[in-house]
Structure 1
């Protein structure tokens, strides 16, 4: 079969903003808007491949630099495409992790276009799916009932309500299960003193007996506090995520922790794998194709983890449907997926840029799209509306700490805090 028109004619990068609730974390609180970039990779024959990336001015600049170098390249030559992007960014972006954010978004768009040309889903391009649906965990947050009034703007609430104590977290989990059928739960911690978050986890364990639980304080704790929490929640959590900073710090915790430790913060690039394995710092790696250079590199990472006996789950950031589709395809093609994946999607689904009907969180799972490519279709009206919101907002970078200080001028960012 001969396929024509496979040269990349244009890469269109569209920055967008969408609503985000006041979700608390160890750095502060989410702002009223989150930022992403949507990619449209246009081929000579008119085929369009979709990609999605976290936003922010630096990442937008890098995507626009990538758009210049990929024109004229063959969409099936993804190795050369990724190498050209890496070379274009190397002088100004020394971190392979940061360069990976750019190349991964373009690789997803290439794979989406390839799948459309071949009339095959992306999961087939990754070796074929081994599961027809991918399990996800409810992502619980301490949160305010509303974004407070600032700069003449009225307070902005949502239908999730406040969650500032164990009862509020349990109620949020009940809503998540009622709406999406989740069968496992993750709490974003690092917000309140550890004993309060231990109480919230124990309340979840009582309310949802037998359901897997995990806690992620985003490095808010010292080594000693991390060990204390691990002892207190032994047999309650399936794993403890990023309790303290650095590979060395995690290794110190792991020496005495009765719980497996997971990370998406200290092992985020290929050069981190060897020291992490040598020090036995983590027992669960939270993969993320945005971090690691794309879907194919994520599958390679899974093989490395299997070789070293490291379990797998999947990290999430504030994403929309293109990223969720990509996550679902690659997760479906991983022979081992030891824990349900993270997803922010319930917090942001109302502002999605894809047409509804393909991606649905039901019974705590997302069925793998079977249409060509990612199997999702861009909603151009929604994209235009969210791009206009981006332009009008004036927001160009995420700043959880700065936003918290506007609300509480006494707030001090300290990691570790406890």
Structure 2
């Protein structure tokens, strides 16, 4: 392989992968998740990989950029920004000075172009690493930890998608069933922290879930995220009822001002990835005291370098960091590991949906492995993962049959519960 770092080809492959019917405050995950796999090939033969959301708007932005990227150098990240038409540090969501609009869980953050830029930036860095024979974490200044700790992400769920057989996980719709799910996660992955996706059951039932988990897993850190399903009074009541059980409470209610009211009423730390999703919103969050923990996510903060900058800003303002997750494949997990490896102020284990991922586009030989709740930060060039071409083709064909569709948890829920309405706050 020569060292020519000029891009000669860009390949975009939308894929759809199977996912269980996982519940959240908006509704439920559908049977297939759309993602976009990006390949950036240099004249020297290096291929860099990226992964992002697969909704139509992001696809359109990525396709537009892909046409203009041949001839750009993969070391020219400023040039990438010009091609995509975005500066990830200033072109995120506008500043919020009042209550924030409540958006769909996991799909609300960042602008379309920032999401596209982030995936291309990861692919550029992956290609750089492959050309230089260096892991991405070295390109970002070097790792500060040899392992990245992850949190077991627990969902209430239906037993099956409509018309399908009951899946391997079974139905999880009450506190006792959630404890059984957590036991399986702990046994298979060794997680030292567990997060409950809340906003599904009545608040008292979710507090009971936390109590049962605390009793079953003494010493394991617990967190819950109801995605703004609760009013301010309900959030305060839950925080009081769960006193001593939680390492943090994530986005219990909507908006910076609502979160500030809850934060002022409870010693339990509040975390967010709904009211602080861009650099412009951090100042107002600090002024109001809305949250003390920000959940980083390179997919919508502007890439791996922007995530590093988020860490520096957070440290200067006394904020702490955790890491957000959405439904993802192994390319994104590998990128998350590289980002987490270089963040000195990463105070909490990272969220990940990866245990729910039953198929992947990366070759199993190099796929990240969660063992004892951690992923080892390797020294393979770039991200350290390679594509499984057969799996990529299979998942692309599934996407092609389904067509371009945005994620819609409400529509998916209506197939289980006709007439379902996404109403937040619900309690």
Instruction: Select the residue among 331, 336, 341 that pairs with 1:322.
Output: 331
Structure-1 separation of matches of 2:324 and 2:259: 18
Contact 1:27–1:413 (8 Å) recurs in 2: yes
Kindly indicate whether residue 406 of structure 2 is the aligned counterpart of residue 397 of structure 1: yes
More moved, 96-105 vs 199-208: 96-105
More moved, 69-78 vs 197-206: 69-78
Corresponding residue SS for 2:117? helix
Structure-2 separation of matches of 1:342 and 1:94: 22
Kindly indicate whether residue 209 of structure 2 is the aligned counterpart of residue 195 of structure 1: no
**Paired position in structure 1 for 2:67:** 68
Instruction: Select the residue among 176, 180, 200 that pairs with 2:185.
Output: 176
Structure-2 separation of matches of 1:87 and 1:271: 15
Q: Output aligned runs, 1:17-416, within 5 Å.
A: 17-87=16-86, 97-149=111-163, 155-348=164-357, 350-358=358-366, 359-394=368-403, 396-416=405-425
Aligned residues: 409
Shift of 1:98: 3.0
Structure-1 separation of matches of 2:327 and 2:3: 37
Structure-1 separation of matches of 2:15 and 2:378: 24
Structure-2 separation of matches of 1:306 and 1:143: 37
Structure-1 separation of matches of 2:87 and 2:132: 29
Post-superposition Cα deviations, 1:4-23, rounded to whole Å, max 9, x if no partner, equal: 42111222111000000000
Structure-2 separation of matches of 1:291 and 1:266: 13
Structure-2 separation of matches of 1:214 and 1:87: 34
**Paired position in structure 2 for 1:152:** none
Taking only aligned residues, the RMSD between alpha carbons, in angstroms, comes to: 1.8
Structure-2 separation of matches of 1:98 and 1:281: 26
Structure-1 separation of matches of 2:92 and 2:315: 30
Distance 1:365 1:44, change over 3 A: same
**Paired position in structure 1 for 2:6:** 7
Shift of 1:87: 4.8
More moved, 202-211 vs 391-400: 391-400
> Deviation above 6 Å: which 4+ runs of structure 1?
92-95
Post-superposition Cα deviations, 1:284-339, rounded to whole Å, max 9, x if no partner, equal: 11100001100011001001101111111100000000000000011011112111
Corresponding residue SS for 1:374? coil
Structure-2 separation of matches of 1:102 and 1:268: 16
Structure-1 separation of matches of 2:313 and 2:92: 26
Contact 2:86–2:117 (8 Å) recurs in 1: no
More moved, 105-114 vs 54-63: 54-63
TM-score, length basis structure 2: 0.93
Shift of 1:88: 11
Shift of 1:391: 0.8
Corresponding residue SS for 1:253? helix
Structure-1 separation of matches of 2:13 and 2:405: 13
Distance 1:94 1:166, change over 3 A: closer
Distance 1:222 1:382, change over 3 A: same
Post-superposition Cα deviations, 1:99-135, rounded to whole Å, max 9, x if no partner, equal: 2111100000000000001100001011111111100
